[in-house]
Amino acid sequence: MVLAISSLVFNAFKLDFSNLFVGESQIAVISVVASLCVVVLLSILLLSYKIKERQES
């Protein structure tokens, strides 16, 4: 989760808002979206582990 958030922050600084889909900024946009997906998926996984622990108790 920490690596995904750090990747998100790093690539957010590389964004050029005047030309989002050109050159290095395009790669940064793709990386930001991928990092957001990883954060969401890991959050769902952690939440499911917590639910599983409560059901076992």
What is the per-residue pLDDT for 18? 93
Q: Do 4 and 10 touch, CB atoms closer than 8 A?
A: no
What is the per-residue pLDDT for 56? 87
| Residue pLDDT, tens place only, 19-53 | 989 989 999 999 999 999 999 999 999 999 999 99
Does this model's pTM top 0.75? My answer is yes
CA distance 7 to 45: 19
User: How much is the average pLDDT of 9-25?
Assistant: 92
CA distance 49 to 47: 5
User: How much is the average pLDDT of 4-19?
Assistant: 94
Min mean pLDDT across 3-7, 39-43, 53-57 is at: 53-57
Question: How is the chain split into domains, by residue range?
Answer: 2-56
